[in-house]
Amino acid sequence: MRLTKIKFSGYKRLLDTGCNVDADLISFVGPNEAGKTTVLEALAWLTEGGTLGPRKVNRTVETTLRGPIVTAVFALEASDLEALSEVDTNVAPRTLSFSRTPEGVEQISFDPPLSRTTELTQSVLKSVSDPELSHRIEDKATATALAHVIELASSEREWKQKSEGAVQKLIEWLELPISATGNGDEAADEVEKSAPESDLAAARLLKDWQTQMSQPEPNVTAADALSGRIPAFVLFSEADRKLGFEYDLRRRSVNQGGRSQYVPYDDVENPDGGLVNLLSLANTSIRQFYELVHAGVPERVSAHARKTNKALNEAISPHWRQRPLEIRVEASDTKLRIVVDEGEDTARFTDRSDGLRIFVALLSFLAQHTTDPPPILLIDEADIHLHYNAQADLINFLLELPSRTIYTTHSPGCLPLDLGTGIRVIEPSQKDPTSKLRNNFWDGNQPGFMPLLFAMGAGAAAFSSLRAAVFTEGPSDMMLLPTLLREATQERNLGYQIVPGLASIHPGSLGNTDYAAVRVAYLVDGDEGGCDHQKHLLKAGVPENRILRLPEGMATEDLIDPDVYLEAVNGVLADSQRTEQVTMEQIKDDLDAGVTIARAVEIALGGPDSAPGKGAVAGRLLRRDGSLPLANMAREYLAAHHATFIELLGVKQKP
């Protein structure tokens, strides 16, 4: 299953808000005190459980708070549905919602909700609805039971205790032998005959129905089947980051109850979280080193250190490919030290780069949470203590993880490369102590990164030393192009960001747009509007070789398989309760005339005001299952443009 949405209903500042989280890397940004950390705390609590204390409940609703307070919605995949094959239902759920109430109670629900198979219920209804049966029932109690069973089978609802009693009453009546007098003589003895086969068949159906309805509801059975497949949210805390160079293995004398005894120093009693995680990679601990040291057998200490170092480097080296190095522990009779060997050089762990140190701490943490499915990693203030290059290294490392990552940051240098799908904004209310989550950061008035700077609470921060960027026309380009480029090139990490804004900036201001990134290229549509943007850029002094165009008559949306694009358009229309549907026949003539598919859809629906917004359609496209199919020749166009961007922007790609 794949996480797609998160919802909050009263956890601290988060009241009746939520957002999509359907990308591999999601960064929450916003001003200080907006609630970025709260999002991660709430998700960690969703996994960890426990009663929600009063300090964690939004004070505007603490007396009325009921029901789920944090919910994660997961899209179910084929393997999940296969795990439900034994569940008594014909419904194929699309999503699973995992929630927790303020009391700490877990709740799992499905959409659409699951219901039992109805074939047996329909057979029962047909059997007991025979008028001849009701005509033969003479006692009132059985007649009432029959009426209840008919109503129950007709409604297909779950049973209550009264229902069980009515079904059992009817079964007993159907199985009663029939009394009759012999030879029609009223004075003769009564003779018992077996119940008619039709009655016995009806009784057997009712017993089968009893067995079916006595089983837990399908929603409960399905929840049990899938609960172990729900990914855990694990928070990489400040304590987990803490990993030093030197730790004290000495012991000290303390007086307890008038007696003197030796105890470890605090480094052993309360070790750094990062150290605990690191040594756990080798299935050891600082306590074990302490005990070996004070056992007085130095060769055992040395042997344990060698074993530990071998395990550490088997765990770490495959993931650190920048250059060959080894993380090693050294144990003396007084100290445990963490050092880094690189070639002939040895350095203290704390003297190495911030990027390496955070990498080792993070890898050690993840090793403690190796589960199937992989957990969803939560990192608060991912940029803390990291310079810009280390931030970029961290983002690239997170992209390579099998787990998905949700993190917060204050730094523009720590944003995901895919801005369109990877950024969520936390916006504090000016009226009350609440915050709202937003799926996008852009608006129509500011180009490039400016809306993002404001969303992050950064006034005039500059991006000039941070990222390579491709400047495009609008938000839908920013949303779709990274996915389309990755699909065309099979590259997971493009090495540059797609930035919107050319369509909204005044031509006279184009000369100032290079604030958007240290290295900038431009991509415009192949329509008349793109031609105008190209002219304005050239007039503003942008070198011609830095301006790329899509093929003649094409915009970003035309790079997508047209049937898939129309499917998304019609999905957005249906979501808006509109009955119109756009067909290929309606737009074919416009497409043949060189009109972009987005414009052709507008024409088919009566104009721009009647058509779904490009952003809404782009969002729907990105949420579809599987890859995004490309139009004919789109793969070649995109791959060629990507190669040009790499060269223009000086992006270094991993071999």
* Span 119-161, pLDDT tens digits: 888 988 888 888 888 888 888 888 888 888 888 888 878 887 7
Distance CA 527, CA 538 (A): 17
* b/e per residue 604-616 (b: at least 16 CB within 10 A): bbeeeeebbebbb
What is the topology classification, in CATH, of domain 1-116+217-232+371-439? Rossmann fold (3.40.50)
pLDDT at 481 over 60: yes
Work out the percent of the chain whose per-residue pLDDT is above 70.
89
- Residue 321's pLDDT is 59
| pLDDT tens digit sequence for 8-20 | 998 999 999 999 8
Predicted local distance difference test score (pLDDT) of residue 405: 94
**Distance (Å, rounded) from C-alpha 414 to C-alpha 381?**
9
pLDDT digits (tens, 9 = 90+) for 275-327: 999 999 899 999 999 999 999 889 999 999 999 999 988 887 766 655 677 88
Instruction: Indicate the pTM of the whole model.
Output: 0.79
Q: Which two tokens stand for residue 383?
A: 């940029």
Q: What is the pLDDT of residue 320?
A: 64
Structure tokens at 571: 């999905």
Q: What is the pLDDT of residues 177-209, one digit of tens each?
A: 877 655 555 555 566 778 788 888 888 988 988
Nearest one of 250, 291, 281 to 267, comparing CA atoms: 250
pLDDT in tens, 403-413: 899 999 988 77
Q: 111 pairs with which residues across the strands?
A: 95
The Cα 491–Cα 112 span in angstroms is 36
Helix (H), strand (E), coil (C) string for 337-375: EEEEEECCEEEEHHHCCHHHHHHHHHHHHHHCCCCCCCC
CB 454 within 8 A of CB 412: no
Residue 212: pLDDT above 70?
yes
Instruction: Report the amino acid identity of residue 426.
Output: I
Question: Is the confidence at residue 637, as pLDDT, over 90?
Answer: yes
Confirm if 423 and 441 have CB atoms less than 8 A apart: yes
- Domain ranges in the chain? 1-116+217-232+371-439, 119-216, 238-357, 561-629
Q: Which tops the pLDDT comparison, 394 or 223?
A: 223
| Cα separations in angstroms, 193 against 151, 180, 182, 198 | 30, 7, 11, 14
pLDDT, residue 463, reads 46
- Can you give the three-state secondary structure of 609-633, one letter per residue? HHCCCHHHHHHHHHHCCCCCCECCC
| Residue 452 exposure: Cα atoms within 13 Å on the Cβ side | 27
Those residues with Cβ within 8 angstroms of residue 117's Cβ, 6 or more apart along the chain or in another chain: 88, 89, 90
Expressed in angstroms, the distance from the first to the final Cα of the chain is 31
Q: Which residue has the higher pLDDT, 507 or 79?
A: 79
DSSP, residue by residue, 167-230 = HHHHHHHHHSPEEEEGGG-TTSPEEEEPPPHHHHHHHHHHHHHHHHHHSPPHHHHHHHHHGGGS
8 A C-beta contact, residue 634 and residue 560: yes
Q: What is the pLDDT of residue 184?
A: 52
For residue 358, what pLDDT is reported? 84
pLDDT, one tens digit per residue, over 344-373 is 788 898 888 777 788 888 888 988 888 888
